[in-house]
Structure 1
Amino acid sequence: MQIQQSLAPQYRLLVFLVSIGFFMQGLDTTIINTALPAMAQSLEINPLQMHSVVISYVLAVAAFIPLSGWLADRFGIRHVYIAAIVIFSCSSLGCALSNNLNQLIGFRILQGVGGALLMPVGRLALLKLIPREQFLAAMSMMSLAGLIGPLIGPSLGGWLVQYTTWHWIFLINIPMGILGVFVSFKAMPNLRELKVKTFDFSGFILLMLAMVGLALGIEQIAVPNSSLSFSLTLFLVGGLASLYYVYHAHTHKNALFRSKLFKHQIYRIGVLGNFFIRLGSNAIPFLVPLMLQIAFHMEPLMAGIMMTPMVLGSLFSKPIIRPMIQKIGYRTFLIANSLLLGLCIASFALTAADTPFWLRTLHFFIFGILNSLQFVSMNTLTLKDLPQQDASSGNSFLSMIMMLSMSIGVALAGTLLNIFNGIFDGHETALAFQLAFVSLGFLNILSTWIFWKLPKNQMI
């Protein structure tokens, strides 16, 4: 209520509109994880092969984020925002009507394109249309919608699967999309830039090749009927495209992300930390609901409810982040928290079907705290010292890296799970999950070395 009072009435409908998009994307990112086993059964697919449904969406979001700002400047904020909602909603309908895995993956990619435009363009609309003194209130209201999506997503997904069918996890996007389109015409003017620089399509293609090659190269390793040489080829293409983009960023005057951006030491360390630390932690919301349902035979609704303590832990951590960093500094905080987070990820291997409810809840709650502490502190550190002229580009690149890390993290988790499950011929599924958790936790602990390079005097 306080947020609404501090926000001028003429901006409330606009913030509500942007919140719809933020909520849709936040919900869609989390609601699907609980539904994967039911979807696999319906499509007659091994549930341990369903990680491609998650990867295709997140990878599409990562790939198309760099295009969002240019499209909004070129064609107008309202036109692009409406297009994003329409793409997202129509592809959601396509997902619900899919009859096989390939169709579902295709529509998930389209859904990711819509999702890639929703949040950045909505945030841009607030930035351009709302006065600076009102901006914090607007962002706070929008962030609330972003928290509600992940909070209810797993439980709602479990409920829909258990009492209806998995198709409804996509169909619920349609009424929200229709509402968003109608509100857009009333609340969002079609602001556009008079002069728009030429878009760096060659750099955009290189980045897409790099992201798709690296993520799918890992994902294809454990896919049946896929050769190791094909996976290595994909990985090689991704690596070469990444290297060539480094050259491109240094020589192309309109490059999406110029090489000078990475001359800032703190930003460079922050980006590396965001990428590697997130590989393990981003895989947890994918792995845990699968483990609870496949290995421990938990009902979908209860599996979804069990994810709620993670979100509550994230909310609990918000007030304590700043005082902790002020007391010990970024370097010490990030080293310590990265180690604790890695140990917490590995400790999911200790959970079993008969683990007491209270202990499992506490475990997930602690993970939510550590995960949120890590993400907020890394993001703040990465962007805090960037010069004004590099802030927009730096933020876009960081957003892309975060989504890329999520896609590669889920791909890595799915690959590890299938490799370990194959070693035991499918007879020790719970052990396969446990070994995957230990591997991801160890990777997180190894990544701690990145923050050793931070100066010791980095404070808020």
Structure 2
Amino acid sequence: MPDPSNLRRIPMIIGCALFMELIDATAVLTALPQMARDFGEPSVRMNLVVSLYLLAVALFVPVSGWAADRFGPRRVFISAIVLFTLASVGCACSSSLFQLSMARMAQGAAGAMMVPVGQVILLRWSARENLLRAMSYLTIPALIGPILGPPLGGVLVTFLSWHWIFLINLPIGVLGVALVLRYIPDYPGTPGEVLDVPGLLLSAAGLGGLVFGFEALGHGLLPRNGALLLIGFGVVAACLYVWHARRAAHPLIDLSLLRIPTFGVTFWGGNLMRIGSASQPFLLVLLFQLCFGLNPLEAGLLSFVGGAGAFLMKLLAVRIVSRLGFRRTLIGNAVLTGLTLAACGMFSISTPYWIVVAVLFTSGIIRSLQFSTLGALTYADVPPGQSSAASSLSAMTIQLTMSLSVGIAAALLGLIMSVRGHATVAEGDVALVMGLAGLLCAVSGLVYRKLAPQAGASVYAARSR
């Protein structure tokens, strides 16, 4: 049983590793123009810095669960933090685009191991009745990191240099390793755990093709036909993996977990929710900067309001779910998520700032509750022996659906602009995409209707008695 004094500390330690990765992944976007000038490269080639990072994440996420079981989750977690920190120093010391790209690939590989292995530690450490509270702390970095990253990157690039986007990871990484060694239990590995090599190759090819293909489609990294061909390759590889997993004795990614009712429902419902909601930061940046004429720092500060709402909700999530149950919370909150997304699309240049802030703050509260609730229910009925496999499967689909979300949003935006004859993004174009994204989030509530009324009660019942 965990020490009561650690009920908040350990999830926050694990969450800080996730925060470090997400801050780095988003802050680097603001530094690409300055990097291009320093390296003497065309701006379009700097997309490699982002693309190779995502490719490395896609390749290494599937193997994270096996590594945690084979070598022990704390050892893998510490190794990932150390590699991420060293790779960050390598990024800061790079003197060419090639060196930076190689360092970013190492960062991506480390980040792919940090997040799912951190979840494995949390699942093994936390008692069932504390899982919802632990997940509410863990999801805060996931909500705040992508929002804080761009304005932080803008400040560092403006007042210092792009190198500091990577150098700030050095003290965070050193402190993180020290805290993990002091507070995180050292769960043993399982010697002789066999690696499913065919499954690794097929899953890496499928996930890599899909993630990189949707990223290329959304950000114009490749010609459209090339991006679609890459997506098609990913689909074929993914289908071959499903065929392989049904015949393998110990598949790398265990799809039989989808037969667990709570895991299966949250898997499909959560993916629909992320496809609809993960495009919000991307669309808000377009709306605030291209339509309203705000600078990157002003737009980033407005977007950060949602992070403040996420902080507030962590204090209320357990009480809300204890009163309403998982089923009613997820259904009702899916509708509210859709409404707040649609409301963001109704912003105009004349909308008072206090209304923008209020809507974004409310959106942050609602999204925080939804993802905290999903995170806890996903693992509520997963046997401890399958926690690593469940974490790998969940992390893999999160990476895929977030890339899919931006790719679909960008493609829809381009289609709407073409139909309406707009050469540049207009407020109405963004509003239509946000409305469709909100509708998809609301539709995910239909999936949660399949949950039993008392689904996941073990996660909060003991606390409410």
* 1:35 and 1:158 in contact (8 A); partners too: yes
Distance 1:282 1:176 in 2: 26
Matching of residue 443 in structure 1 with residue 440 in structure 2: yes
In structure 2, what residue type is equivalent to 1:117? M
Counterpart secondary structure, 2:345: helix
Q: Counterpart of 1:338?
A: 334
Distance 1:263 1:202 in 2: 23
Q: Counterpart of 2:462?
A: none
- How big is each residue's C-alpha offset from its partner over 1:172-211, in whole Å with a ceiling of 9 and x where there is no partner? 2234345556888898898763623111121122222222
Q: 1:444 to 1:15 in 2, by over 3 A?
A: closer
Q: 1:38 to 1:317 in 2, by over 3 A?
A: farther
In structure 1, what residue type is equivalent to 2:194? T
Please list, as runs of the form range in 1=range in 2, the aligned pairs for 1:272-351 lying within 5 A after superposition: 272-351=268-347
Calculate the TM-score normalised by the size of structure 1.
Answer: 0.79
Distance 2:144 2:218 in 1: 32
Tell me by how many angstroms 1:119 deviates. 3.6
Task: Pick from 214, 217, 220 the counterpart of residue 218 of structure 1.
Answer: 214
Task: Pick from 156, 159, 163 the counterpart of residue 159 of structure 2.
Answer: 163
* 2:48 and 2:101 in contact (8 A); partners too: yes
Structure 2 gap ranges (5+): 458-465
Which has the higher mean CA deviation after the structures are superposed, 397-406 or 117-126?
Answer: 117-126
Distance 2:426 2:33 in 1: 14
In structure 1, what residue type is equivalent to 2:254? R
Tell me by how many angstroms 1:369 deviates. 1.2
Tell me by how many angstroms 1:296 deviates. 2.1
Which has the higher mean CA deviation after the structures are superposed, 15-24 or 297-306?
Answer: 15-24
Q: Counterpart of 2:66?
A: 70
Q: Counterpart of 1:116?
A: 112
Distance 2:412 2:99 in 1: 25
* 1:34 and 1:304 in contact (8 A); partners too: no
Distance 1:211 1:303 in 2: 32
Tell me by how many angstroms 1:53 deviates. 6.1
In structure 2, what residue type is equivalent to 1:391? S
Structure 1 gap ranges (5+): none
* 2:154 and 2:296 in contact (8 A); partners too: yes
Which has the higher mean CA deviation after the structures are superposed, 272-281 or 379-388?
Answer: 379-388
Distance 1:131 1:448 in 2: 28
* 2:64 and 2:112 in contact (8 A); partners too: yes
* 1:154 and 1:305 in contact (8 A); partners too: no
Q: Counterpart of 2:460?
A: none
Distance 1:276 1:186 in 2: 38
Tell me by how many angstroms 1:421 deviates. 4.8
Distance 1:351 1:37 in 2: 29
* 2:203 and 2:238 in contact (8 A); partners too: yes
Distance 2:363 2:34 in 1: 26
Q: Counterpart of 1:359?
A: 355
Task: Pick from 212, 234, 241 the counterpart of residue 230 of structure 2.
Answer: 234
Tell me by how many angstroms 1:88 deviates. 1.9
Task: Pick from 259, 267, 270 the counterpart of residue 271 of structure 1.
Answer: 267
Tell me by how many angstroms 1:363 deviates. 1.0
Q: Counterpart of 2:168?
A: 172
- How big is each residue's C-alpha offset from its partner over 1:417-453, in whole Å with a ceiling of 9 and x where there is no partner? 4444556453344444333323322332343332233
In structure 2, what residue type is equivalent to 1:313? G
Task: Pick from 376, 379, 387 the counterpart of residue 375 of structure 2.
Answer: 379
Report the number of matched residues: 451
In structure 1, what residue type is equivalent to 2:300? G
Tell me by how many angstroms 1:264 deviates. 1.8
Matching of residue 254 in structure 1 with residue 258 in structure 2: no
Q: Counterpart of 1:408?
A: 404
Q: 1:285 to 1:104 in 2, by over 3 A?
A: farther
Tell me by how many angstroms 1:124 deviates. 5.4
Which has the higher mean CA deviation after the structures are superposed, 245-254 or 116-125?
Answer: 116-125
Counterpart secondary structure, 1:239: helix
* 1:59 and 1:404 in contact (8 A); partners too: no
Q: 1:85 to 1:275 in 2, by over 3 A?
A: same
Which has the higher mean CA deviation after the structures are superposed, 210-219 or 184-193?
Answer: 184-193
* 1:217 and 1:234 in contact (8 A); partners too: yes
Which has the higher mean CA deviation after the structures are superposed, 88-97 or 177-186?
Answer: 177-186
* 2:120 and 2:391 in contact (8 A); partners too: no
Please list, as runs of the form range in 1=range in 2, the aligned pairs for 1:2-21 lying within 5 A after superposition: 6-7=5-6, 21=17
Distance 1:45 1:421 in 2: 24
Which has the higher mean CA deviation after the structures are superposed, 385-394 or 350-359?
Answer: 385-394
* 2:66 and 2:389 in contact (8 A); partners too: no
Matching of residue 426 in structure 1 with residue 436 in structure 2: no
* 1:57 and 1:108 in contact (8 A); partners too: yes
Distance 1:334 1:127 in 2: 21
* 1:161 and 1:300 in contact (8 A); partners too: no
Counterpart secondary structure, 1:210: helix
Distance 2:216 2:257 in 1: 33
Distance 2:203 2:455 in 1: 31
Tell me by how many angstroms 1:231 deviates. 3.3
Distance 1:354 1:94 in 2: 45
In structure 2, what residue type is equivalent to 1:315? F
Q: 1:252 to 1:296 in 2, by over 3 A?
A: same
